[in-house]
Amino acid sequence: MASSGTDNAMFRLGDDLVVRMPRIHWASGGVDHEAHWLPLVAGRLPVTVPRVVAVGEPTPEYPWTWSVLTWVPGENPRLGELHEPAVLARDLAALLRAVRAMDLEGGVDRARPLAHRDAQVRDDIAALTDEIDTAAVTAIWEHALATAEWTGQRSWVHGDLAPGNLLLVDHRLTGLIDFASIGIGDPALDLGVAWNLLPPSARAVFREALEVDDVTWTRARAWALAQALVQLPYYRDTNPALAANARHVIREVTAEA
């Protein structure tokens, strides 16, 4: 399958299944993690999620764990081509409320302070001096470090709420895939979709629907920025789709600040 994903190669298997095979050794752990949690998540969210049909064991020919999943129908939303962005914003808010409300036990701890990413963010900014407003981006990041560090309670997070993992049918959010990063952490981690997909007007609808306070919004914006700053220099020459989305996020975050 054509995909902007970098960790796994995806292959259709008939009409109803998909094979997910890691491209790199560290992605194999995500297959095991997803295979454990997907059966527990099933039925708890207002969208369709994949069902694990089989898990393949490593062999000398292919040394990593891989999986067969049910195919989730739908199309990925595209930047600038959303039919009713405000409706999608409300759908996303409803999905995140359901994710946070899951009462599962034993989730992997995904909690990290913003300061944990500080050195990486500054290295990435330095690598992008020819492409971004480094002073503006640095100011946004430093403001978040100084005012928005997380001190709240952990909640369930999907961990990768990117356009490529969302599926729409008739312009409504109906599916969610890639649960390799699901765990317990800062709920702001899942708010990055506000900048990587939604236009400003729908972003406001999304924020209002989730009742996000100023400190959490500032921190969520910083997490989205940090992710984009990692992606852009790394994928600039190898993955045009991810690089384009990273540029978009940086523009949106800078314009909003």
Residue boundaries of the structural domains of the chain: 8-70, 85-256
What class, spelled out in words, does domain 85-256 have in CATH?
alpha beta
pLDDT at residue 175 tops 70: yes
Phi-psi label, residue 176: left if phi above 0, alpha if psi -120 to 50, beta otherwise = beta
* pTM strictly above 0.85: yes
- List all residues 6 or more positions away from 178 whose beta carbon is below 8 Å from its beta carbon: 5, 34, 160, 164, 165
Residue 6 banded pLDDT, cuts 50, 70, 90: confident
Neighbouring C-beta atoms of residue 145, cutoff 10 Å: 17
Walk across the sheet containing 52-56 and list its strands.
8-13, 17-22, 66-70, 52-56
The highest-level CATH class for domain 8-70 is alpha beta
Contact 173, 166 (CB under 8 A): yes
Percent of the chain with pLDDT over 70: 99
Find out whether 229 and 124 touch, Cβ atoms under 8 Å: yes
The span from the CA of 163 to the CA of 83, in Å, is 15
- What's the Cα-to-Cα distance from 21 to each of 16, 74, 86, 171, rounded to whole Å? 17, 21, 35, 29
Plot region of 178 (φ>0 → left; ψ -120 to 50 → alpha; else → beta): left
pLDDT at 35 over 90: yes
Rounded CA separation 153/140 (Å): 24
Torsion angle, CA of 103/36/44/225, rounded to 10 degrees? 80
What's the count of helices (H) and strands (E) in the chain, helices before strands?
8, 8
Contact indicator for 201, 194 with CB cutoff of 8 Å: no
Whole-number pLDDT of residue 152: 85
- Asked if residue 181 lies in contact with residue 31, where contact means CB atoms within 8 angstroms, the answer is no
CA distance 38 to 29: 14
The pLDDT of residue 4 is above 70? no
Is the pLDDT assigned to residue 92 strictly greater than 80?
Answer: yes
Mapped onto helix, strand or coil, the DSSP state of residue 208 is helix
pLDDT in tens, 190-228: 999 999 999 999 999 999 999 999 999 999 999 999 999
Q: In sequence order, what DSSP letters do the residues of 20-81 get, joined into one string?
A: EEESSGGGHHHHHHHHHHHHHHTTSSSSB---EEEEEPP-SSS-S-EEEEEPPP-B---TT-
Q: Does the pLDDT value for residue 74 go beyond 90? A: yes
Distance CA 229, CA 140 (A): 13
With 90 as the cut, is the pLDDT of residue 241 above it?
no
